[in-house]
Chain A
Amino acid sequence: MAMLENRRKKNLIALSLVAPFVLTFALFFFYPTVKMLELSFTNAPLIGDGDWVGLDNYRRLLSDRLFKTSLINNGYFILLTVIPTTAIALCIALMINRLSGRIQALVMVLFFLPYVLPVSVVTEIWAWMLDFQFGVLQPVISLFTGKPVAVFKNPDWVMPVIAAVTIWWTNGFNVLLFIAGLRNIPVDLYEAAALDGATSRQRFWRVTWPLLWPVTALVLTLQLILQLKIFDQIYLLSAGGPFNSSYVLLMQVYREAFQLNHGGYSSTVATVLFAIIAVVSVLQFQLLRIGGRR
């Protein structure tokens, strides 16, 4: 009886420890998730109730050209960022890894610093760098095109430029992960390879690359998920334009809800985005597990 009492008391203490998180989670995370699913089957405005419309919203998605554009643009943005940023980060990490001491610390700061900046600072810096009239990079652009380009108002330029800005901003994070991965490779493996007379190219492809693969896979999948959720930079630099050429899924969620007052339809788009990311995350989890992490 006393033991049972004790057990009960222990459970109560445990409950009190987890309660603050669990309650916050339930109210501000779980409830909105359920509510989003529910709204996606209604024609509700942003504020107020709507009628149950079954799968109508989902059917509408199939014929919604803007939704298709968003999906394509999300895909295009992923193409422009995920593999390039991973490759660039790996190169930079390999270079930094050859340095030592203070100079290494300094170079790491140079590459990582942009990552800590707020997104709106990043976009203001780049809007200025690429300003049509006075941008310091316009002469560089003119070298290739013969004339300045208003990059954020040009349908061909807008996505690649926003992708480049994004890579500049977030690359330091990936560099850091690669550096950590490189440090985990035992030095004696390189020594053994050197004894066997391996060239530096062989050392990279036979030792570094396979042993670094778990980190590479992690960076690739983290980036993939991150770029699916792209919104801030695009909203601030081009607002989805020109002619919807940089319109993405989260932009549609935002517009439908907050500008067109379609809470229901917006939730449908959000649910699809949610599902895509959930699937990718599960695949990531499996991939990294197969990759033999830990």
Chain B
Amino acid sequence: MKSGTRLENGIITAFTLIVGLVWIFPLYWSFLTSVRSEENVVTEPGIVPDEFNLSSYVDALFNTKLLTWYFNSIGTAVIVTVVVLVISMMCAYAISQMQFPGRKLLYLVVLASFMVPAQALVVTQFILMNDLGLINTWAGIILPQLIVPVVIIVYKQFFDAVPKEMREAAVLDGGGEYTILFKVYLPLNWGITTALAIVTFIGVWNSFFWPFLVITSEDMMTIPVGITQVTDAFGIAYARLMAVAMLAALPVVLAYLVFQRRVTEAVMISSGVKG
């Protein structure tokens, strides 16, 4: 859609850029706050960087349980991501490539569970976790997050699209179903696998409601839950609060910036809109 004069395009570009910068301003402002001294933050803060003081970061890292929360977040997010991908991939492969009784019903259940709000289930999930003695454990955080129907749906679409000849050749070579899945179908779909892995990881890292319910001990908290405790501990200390916020956001922001195109791809595909 190339239209309009050069001047018009220049104006649109400039305008869009300005709107974008305004949009990101809260993040910029928070970062600026985090690298200022507490006094400077409340006296006369300008919108240009004037100080690069990392003392709030040091304070945030060593005077809170941030490092423990990082450990819990990374551990649970990695486990959830890996398990979700593996069990969803296996299930999608069976639905896509094999004939077995109940295949259609299973896919219907997957599609239907896509519509069920997991948030409505927190009470009974909590009771179940309590019965299993998993309150305040990693397993308690992980288990209810393992059901991500959309991953199965996306994998099924991709497996459906693999040419039948690939499968026939693999069967002739005497490969079993597991071999075919992990040696043929998975390598053919590495692209979508990494894309799904990154968005699943970001999603799990950011999940708040469930970890907030199932964890009450500060030592077991994940980052998004833990940092809400800091507000109480620090009191009114904006630079330190913002330093904590920046550190909490860092891993997902990095993951997004590094794998930008994969994230975009995964978001579009899992919403059913092809880019």
With known contacts A110-B24, A116-B252, A28–B273 Cβ distance under 8 A: no
Number of interface residues of A (CB under 8 A): 95
How distant is the Cα of A71 from the Cα of B118 in the complex, in angstroms?
19
Which A residues touch B225, using CB under 8 A?
120
Number of interface residues of B (CB under 8 A): 98
Q: A66 interface residue, CB < 8 Å from B?
A: no
B1 touches A187 (CB 8 A): yes
A117 touches B120 (CB 8 A): no
What per-residue 1/0 map shows which CB atoms of B102-145 lie under 8 Å from chain A? 01001001000111111111111111101000000000000110
Q: B71 interface residue, CB < 8 Å from A?
A: no
B116 touches A274 (CB 8 A): yes
A180 touches B143 (CB 8 A): no
Question: Which residue in chain A gives the minimum CB-CB distance to B94?
Answer: A17
How close is A20's CB to chain B, nearest CB, in angstroms? 4
Give the A-B contact count at a CB cut-off of 8 A. Answer: 274
How distant is the Cα of A277 from the Cα of B125 in the complex, in angstroms?
19
By secondary structure, the A interface counts as: helix
A134 touches B238 (CB 8 A): yes
Which A residues touch B187, using CB under 8 A?
none
A118 touches B224 (CB 8 A): yes
Could you tell me which A residues sit within 8 Å of B by CB distance? 10-11, 13-15, 17-18, 20-22, 24-25, 27-29, 31-33, 35-36, 39, 46-47, 92, 95-99, 103, 105-114, 116-121, 124-126, 128-129, 131, 133-134, 136, 168, 173, 176-177, 179-181, 183-184, 187, 190, 194, 200, 215, 218, 222, 225, 228-229, 231-232, 236, 250, 253-254, 257-258, 263, 266-267, 270-271, 273-274, 277-278, 281-282, 285, 293
Q: A24-B143, A35-B127, A183-B275 are in contact. List 4 more A-B contacts (CB 8 A).
A: A25-B109, A98-B13, A168-B23, A271-B120
